[in-house]
Structure 1
Amino acid sequence: MELNRKVAGPSERTVSVGTHEVRYLEGGQGEVVVLLHGIFGEKDHWVDYDRQLTHRYRVIVPDLPGFGGSSRLTGESYGYAAQMQRLVMLLVRLGLKRVHIAGSSMGGTLAALLAMREPRRVASVAFIDAPHGIRTPRRSQMGSAIEAGESPSHGGEGRPF
């Protein structure tokens, strides 16, 4: 990952968002593109995309709070509602008034929620893989765990993610 990041050229930065420290990658210039990782991801999973975009766009790739290098606080929720608030706070903190936003899995859901709740902030939305949370007649165990704010990667049972 480190070699990939070096070739792509983004800088790693940290910013306070509420009670969390959020690490993110930033590179390029121009209109802003924000890339959001999925439930089992982190910012460095986007480096190959980043490399393709930074010649034309300013690219921001955060580790969402509770994931990757960003802080994870005991007793905090990392479900969609809490993450949405943090995502909006991140955009405000970075002075980003309007962004193109793309997400994978959980990040896709957050991108869609941002577009619905803060449409003036979103120039466009792209889904890389299907967003998590698309409703089906029968909910999966993983979907139920995520909705409850539990970590499906560790058996889910009562472990907030």
Structure 2
Amino acid sequence: MTGLSLFESNELRNLSRYVRGYLGGLRSLCVEIEGEEFKYLEGGDGDTIIFLHGILGSKTQWRSLMQTYTQDYRVVALDIPGLCLHQAFAQKKHSLRQLSIWLESVVDRLRSDRVHLVCHSMGCALGSYFAATRPGMVSSLTLMAFPDVFSNRGETLQGLVNEINAMMTGSDVKPLADYYRRAFADPPNIPNIVLRYNLREVNRFRGRVLQAVDEFAQSSPLLMAQM
């Protein structure tokens, strides 16, 4: 990964178009929980919708969808510890139980009695477990691209671990681009400069990501018990 260049001159114009109006009317905020700061995006007013991303995702992947609902709802997108490259618990494991305790604290800080959950990929496991264990806090649950984490003794999660490891073998962004394409039904066109930055960050936090995926996988029977 050494010597991986982020910038190629012919891509700068594409980058400027990509970031223009990036957040729109959304606000980038932080919430403090047990002495740690966690980032989120917020906009609009009304009943609260919380968006939960999957592994290697982030709050910003929801920005376009969030802007669609700001006229009628309060929209909140979180950087989920362990699933987001740049957010992790300092001491706790990234299990479904600990993540649900964290999410409950976030909802409490947002002063929302009940929320709508919109979840993608591995965020679906967190949303499902949270809704099953705290039904009084969830008005609705929407799941998108929920992977089969229970079949074949964790084969899906092990395949994800292998895929993350494969991304580390060089500076080629194609494996990462392929991962994003499979994760979304209608994936956005991500500029190569952004892919190279994301690949560098995946490599930078590789150990933490793999540990979080393992902790997440070890806790998957908790969700099965609720189904």
Both proteins in one fold, TM over 0.5: yes
Which residue identity does 1:153 align to in structure 2?
I
Per the alignment, residue 96 of structure 1 pairs with 112
For residue 79 of structure 1, the aligned residue among 95, 98, 115 is 95
Identity of aligned residues (%): 25
Structure 1 CA distance for aligned equivalents of residues 102 and 22 of structure 2: 25
- Inter-CA distance 40–151: structure 2 relative to 1 (3 Å threshold): farther
8 Å Cα contact 1:20-1:71 kept in structure 2: no
Q: Which runs of 5+ in 2 are unaligned?
A: 1-17, 167-205, 213-227
1:82 to 1:4, Cα distance in 2 relative to 1, 3 A: farther
Q: Return the offset for 1:17.
A: 1.8
More helix by share: 2
Cα separation, 2, equivalents of 1:97 and 1:152: 39
Higher deviation after alignment, 150-159 or 80-89: 150-159
Q: Deviations over 1:72-100 (max 9, x none)?
A: 42x43112222111111111122121000
Q: Superposed, which structure 2 residues align to 1:15-54 within 5 Å?
A: 15-54=31-70
Counterparts of residues 46-65 of structure 1 (less than 5 Å): 46-65=62-81
Query: How is 1:140-155 mapped onto 2 (pairs within 5 angstroms)?
Result: 140=155, 143-144=157-158, 153-154=164-165
Whole-angstrom distance in 1 between the partners of 2:207 and 2:22: 35
2:211 matches 1:160: yes
Q: Structure 1: how far apart are the matches of 2:34 and 2:115?
A: 21
- Please give the root-mean-square deviation of Cα atoms over the aligned residues, in Å: 2.7
Q: Residue 149 of structure 2 contacts residue 157 of structure 2 at CA under 8 Å; is this kept in 1?
A: no
Residue correspondences, number: 154
Structure 1 unaligned segments of length 5 or more: list them: none
Compare the two structures and name the one with the higher strand fraction: 1
Give runs of ≥4 in structure 1 deviating > 6 Å.
155-158
Equivalent-residue separation in structure 2 for 1:153 and 1:72 (angstroms)? 20
Counterpart secondary structure, 2:120 = strand
Q: State whether residues 49 and 74 of structure 2, in contact with CA within 8 Å, keep that contact through their aligned partners in structure 1.
A: yes
- Partner SS state of residue 55, structure 2: coil
Distance 1:48 1:94, change over 3 A: same
